[in-house]
């Protein structure tokens, strides 16, 4: 595609006034794509045109440093929006640098040709930083045709005579016309003839809302006519027609102050909090925030907040991660910039303002974009650092955070392998070391309290705090004074399938696999007599265990003597890599198909029930005892019985049998 649209692809032509210039076929195709496909949200047109106007003002401000005469008699750079309801037009104007005829042909007459981009490339050294131009707006102007049947652009370049103005007109049907026009004021004026199906934009109040949403932090004032006050009542003897209402005056509708572009040292905490409430639509203050400006290969500013309260649907599977807003050179681009933050950090609010992305960036462009990947990686580190500081310096505030958002953070091991260790440092759990429920501990504190010889972090997952605390698996740990982490969030079982170690210490579920505590100092401190008694008891119940194993062959993978139990008769133990029973139950209720797994049944050889079973000669009665052992162990571990009626029937029969025996 050549730089200038032509009637003949192989010829160069300079248009004369009023002559219709035909776009090349490929240019016209791009234009139609822009109008019908690229912008799915009609209101984007105003953002684009305001951004171009801001760009023009920025360029003039920079040029005027060397030539102040370019400002002429008008030194207050601004943009103005006006609505004519009768004519059904919207006009956006600026008093920026403006364009001459050649620049109109090059920059407006050609899609994907950006005068701003050329201007940036012409700068060197510190000028690039100081100019702060938005850049790469070649196609943004054409978003006007999303809402307009036709567009008339009038422009005069700063420093040129009034009769050097240029008028560009197009209805997007395949070309445009150029004409000379007198313009007393420099800059650009764009008038849109609004389509019938976009009539909502012929409304000043609607346009003010769009300005506040997308362009509130453009650093130049955006002016609109204020609403005229109602006329005062006529004085005595005065006709109502003689009363003339005061004319509406131009009012600024944007804040024109991008807080995040200011030095941190100049911003008060109250300003940060007010900005958070405004931008993030929260009534409460944020817990903490991080404001950073990055320079170098990528230039961007981030202002990230941690809220106090979680939205009600934060843990809903359909929750949209719309906490991070994307700006390009102070221009709002999109909400729901989910690529800027991983899903497990969907609680983070705030913004990122990049100097290196194009204004017309789309979600498709964000996919796999190296700039976005770099921003995302740095932002994740920043949030983790912010939370570490909060946990260390303001533990009470961190407790608030963990209560609201801890379950989100627990999703990290499966999503973010590279930061798994750093995230795990932030985890807090209930623990058997706490004096009461709610006193949480971190992994570093747990490790600091580990017994001599202990090289594993012991934990249990359950469907509630009491279920975890009172699990039969806890008995040996309680007796030996070994601390166990009590995990009872629904996400915990999934989290632990990815979180295998922390600080070179392996995690071990006390309800899974074989249990070996012999290396821990003091655990095996038993007299020889006690050891001999246990070995004898285990040998005595061996035949009973074999009988139980035969009865439960179809429902268990093994039956064995337990080293975990001290008071309960039995417990079920899952394989080291099996899912906990309570989690299996949740997934089944949600309609998931799970592979069948058979637990191991561990029995306590010192429990009186084993003595009763050893003496039971009736095979049917023995079978009932065996099933009762398994069923009560499954219930204690959060499982669900396949035959609950059978369990109740066997239990009642056992009660009656034991009662009749005692009566004798």
Domain containing 453 — which CATH number? 3.40.50.11260
- Report which DSSP code applies to 355: S
Q: Does a structural domain hold residue 424?
A: no
Domain enclosing residue 472, as ranges: 429-525
Residue 578 contacts residue 493 (beta carbons within 8 Å): no
The pair phi, psi for residue 79, each rounded to 5°, is: -125, 150
Look up the CATH number of the domain holding residue 550. Answer: 1.20.120.790
- Do 502 and 561 belong together in one domain? no
The phi and psi torsions of 462 (rounded to 5 degrees) equal -155, 175
Q: Which of 484, 503, 525 is the last residue of a domain?
A: 525
Tokens standing for residue 617: 């000669």
For residues 541 and 556, give the distance between their C-alpha atoms in angstroms, rounded to a whole number. 18
The C-alpha torsion from 32 through 35 and 37 to 42, rounded to 10°, is: -170
pLDDT at 579: 80
- 3-state secondary structure at position 658: helix
- Residue 514 sits in the same domain as residue 639: no
User: Can you tell me whether residue 449 is helix, strand or coil?
Assistant: coil
Residue 331 in any domain: the answer is yes
Q: What is the dihedral of CA 638, 639, 643, 645, to 10 degrees?
A: 10
Q: Do residues 488 and 521 both lie within one domain?
A: yes
Count of C-beta atoms within a 10 Å radius of residue 577:
9
CB burial of 559-568 (b: ≥16 within 10 Å; e: otherwise) equals bbbbebbbeb
Q: What is the predicted pLDDT for the residue at 322?
A: 63
CA nearest to 70, candidates 131, 163, 155, 159: 159
Please check whether residues 43 and 89 belong to one and the same domain: yes
Domain count, the chain: 4
Clarify whether residues 371 and 356 are in a common domain.
yes
Q: Supply the pLDDT for residue 230.
A: 60
Note whether 187 and 155 are within 8 A (CB). Answer: yes
Whether 636 is covered by a domain: the verdict is yes
- Give domain status of residue 382, yes or no: yes
**For the domain that residue 349 is a member of, what is the CATH number?**
3.30.230.80
Specify if 501 maps to a domain: yes
Which residues sit opposite 300 in a β-bridge? 294, 354
Asked whether residue 231 is domain-assigned, the answer is no
Name the β-bridge partners of 168: 153, 178
- Considering the domain architecture, whether residues 382 and 487 belong to the same structural domain is answered as no
pLDDT at 237: 59
Return all residues near 425 (Cβ < 8 A) that are at least 6 apart.
388, 442, 443, 444, 502
Q: Please count the helices (runs of H) and the strands (runs of E) in the chain.
A: 21, 22
Is the domain of 331 the same as that of 283? Answer: yes
Cα three-residue angle 248-251-253, rounded to 5 degrees: 135
Task: State whether residue 539 is helix, strand or coil.
Answer: helix
β 165-170/175-181 pair status: antiparallel
Based on the fold, state whether residues 158 and 288 are members of the same structural domain.
no
pLDDT of residue 273: 92
* Whether residue 639 is found in the same domain as residue 508: no
Q: Is residue 198 part of a domain?
A: yes
* Residue 218 shares a structural domain with residue 76: yes
Q: What is d(CA 335, CA 225) in angstroms, rounded to the nearest whole number?
A: 29
**Dist. CA 603–CA 557, nearest whole Å:** 14
Say whether 356 sits in a helix, a strand or coil: coil
504: left (phi over 0), alpha (psi -120 to 50) or beta: left
The reply to whether 609 and 565 lie within a common domain is yes
Averaged in consecutive runs of 10 residues, what is the pLDDT profile of the chain (664 residues)? Answer: 36 57 59 58 85 88 88 93 96 96 78 42 42 38 86 96 94 86 96 94 95 86 77 60 55 88 92 86 90 90 94 72 79 75 92 82 71 91 96 95 95 92 96 86 96 94 90 92 93 92 95 86 68 80 93 92 90 85 74 80 91 88 91 85 85 79 59
**Contact call for residues 120 and 127 (beta carbons, < 8 A):** no
Using alpha carbons, select from 229, 231, 210, 211 the residue that is nearest to residue 220. Answer: 211
Q: Which residues on neighbouring strands pair with residue 308, listed in sequence order?
A: none
Q: What is the rounded distance in angstroms from the CA atom of residue 250 to the CA atom of residue 209?
A: 16
Measuring CA to CA, how many Å separate 250 from each of 82, 84, 200, 217, 228? Answer: 10, 15, 22, 19, 10
- pTM for this entry: 0.70
Nearest C-alpha neighbor of 411 from the set 301, 314, 484: 314
What span, in angstroms and rounded, lies between the C-alpha atoms of 143 and 39? 7
Q: Residue 81 belongs to a domain with what CATH number?
A: 3.30.565.10
Same domain, 443 and 354: no
Query: Alpha helices of 248-393 — where are they, by DSSP H?
Result: 269-280, 363-366, 370-393
Confirm whether 4 is domain-assigned: no
Identify the CA nearest to 304 among candidates 217, 376, 356, 227: 376
Report the pLDDT value the prediction gives residue 2, as an integer from 0 to 100: 33
User: How is 141-196 classified by DSSP, letter by letter?
Assistant: GGGGGGTEEEEEEEEE-TTS-GGGEEEEEE-SSSEEEEEEE--SS-EEEEEEEE-G
The pLDDT of residue 199 is 94
């Amino acid at each position: 595609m050549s730089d200038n649209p032509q009637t003949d692809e192989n010829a160069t032509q300079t248009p004369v006034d009023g002559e219709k210039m035909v776009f090349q076929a490929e240019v016209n195709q791009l234009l139609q794509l822009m109008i019908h496909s690229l912008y799915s949200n009609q209101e984007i047109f105003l953002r684009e045109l305001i951004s171009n106007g801001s760009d023009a003002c920025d360029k003039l401000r920079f040029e005027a440093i060397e030539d102040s005469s370019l400002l002429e008699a008008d030194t207050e750079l601004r943009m103005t929006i006006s609505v004519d309801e009768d004519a059904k037009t919207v006009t956006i104007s600026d008093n920026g640098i403006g364009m001459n005829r050649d620049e109109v042909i090059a920059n407006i007459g050609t899609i994907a040709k950006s005068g701003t981009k050329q201007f940036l490339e012409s700068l060197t050294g510190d000028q690039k930083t100081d100019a702060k131009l938005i850049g790469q707006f070649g196609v943004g102007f054409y978003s006007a045709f999303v809402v307009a049947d036709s567009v008339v652009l009038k422009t005069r370049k700063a420093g040129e005579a009034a009769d050097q103005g240029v008028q560009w007109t197009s209805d997007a049907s395949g070309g445009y016309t150029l004409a000379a026009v007198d313009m007393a004021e420099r800059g650009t004026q764009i008038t849109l003839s609004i389509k019938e199906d976009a009539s909502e934009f012929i409304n000043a109040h609607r346009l003010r809302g769009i300005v506040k949403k997308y362009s509130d932090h453009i650093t130049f004032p955006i002016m609109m006519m204020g609403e005229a006050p109602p006329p005062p009542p006529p004085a005595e003897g005065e006709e109502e027609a003689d009363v003339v209402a005061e004319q509406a005056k131009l009012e600024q509708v944007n804040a024109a102050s991008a807080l995040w572009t200011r030095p941190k040292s100049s911003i008060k905490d109250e300003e940060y909090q007010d900005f958070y409430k405004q931008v993030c639509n929260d009534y409460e203050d944020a817990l903490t925030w991080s404001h950073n400006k990055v320079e170098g290969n990528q230039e961007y500013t981030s202002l990230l907040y941690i809220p106090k309260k979680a939205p009600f649907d934060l843990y809903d599977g359909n929750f949209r991660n719309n906490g991070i807003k994307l700006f390009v050179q102070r221009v709002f681009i999109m909400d729901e910039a989910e690529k800027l933050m991983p899903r497990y950090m969907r609680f983070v609010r705030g913004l990122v303002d990049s100097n290196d992305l194009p204004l017309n960036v789309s979600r498709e462009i964000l996919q796999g974009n190296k700039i976005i990947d770099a921003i995302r990686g740095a932002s994740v580190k920043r949030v983790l650092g912010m939370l570490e500081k909060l946990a260390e310096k303001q533990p009470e505030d961190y407790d608030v955070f963990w209560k609201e958002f801890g379950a989100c953070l627990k999703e990290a091991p499966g999503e973010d392998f590279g930061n798994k260790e750093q995230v795990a440092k932030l985890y807090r759990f209930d623990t058997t070391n706490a004096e009461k429920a709610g006193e949480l501990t971190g992994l570093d504190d747990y490790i600091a309290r580990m017994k001599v010889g202990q090289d594993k972090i012991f934990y249990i997952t359950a469907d509630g705090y009491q279920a975890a605390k009172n699990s039969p698996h806890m008995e040996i740990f309680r007796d030996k004074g070994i601390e166990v982490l009590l995990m009872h969030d629904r996400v915990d079982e999934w989290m632990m399938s990815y979180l295998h170690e922390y600080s070179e210490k392996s995690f071990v579920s006390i309800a899974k696999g074989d249990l070996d505590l012999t290396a821990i100092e003091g655990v095996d401190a038993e007299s020889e007599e006690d050891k001999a008694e246990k070995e004898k008891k285990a040998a005595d119940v061996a035949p009973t265990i074999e009988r139980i194993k035969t009865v439960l062959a179809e429902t268990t993978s093994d039956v064995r003597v337990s080293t975990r139990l001290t008071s309960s008769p039995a417990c079920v133990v899952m394989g080291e890599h099996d899912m906990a029973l309570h989690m299996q139950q949740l997934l089944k209720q949600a309609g998931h198909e799970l592979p069948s797994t058979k637990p191991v049944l561990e029995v306590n050889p010192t429990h009186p029930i084993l003595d009763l079973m050893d003496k039971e000669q009736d095979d049917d009665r023995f079978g009932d005892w065996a099933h009762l052992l398994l069923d009560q162990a499954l219930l204690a571990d959060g499982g669900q019985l396949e035959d609950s009626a059978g369990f109740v029937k066997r239990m009642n029969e056992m009660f009656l049998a034991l009662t009749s025996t005692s009566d004798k």
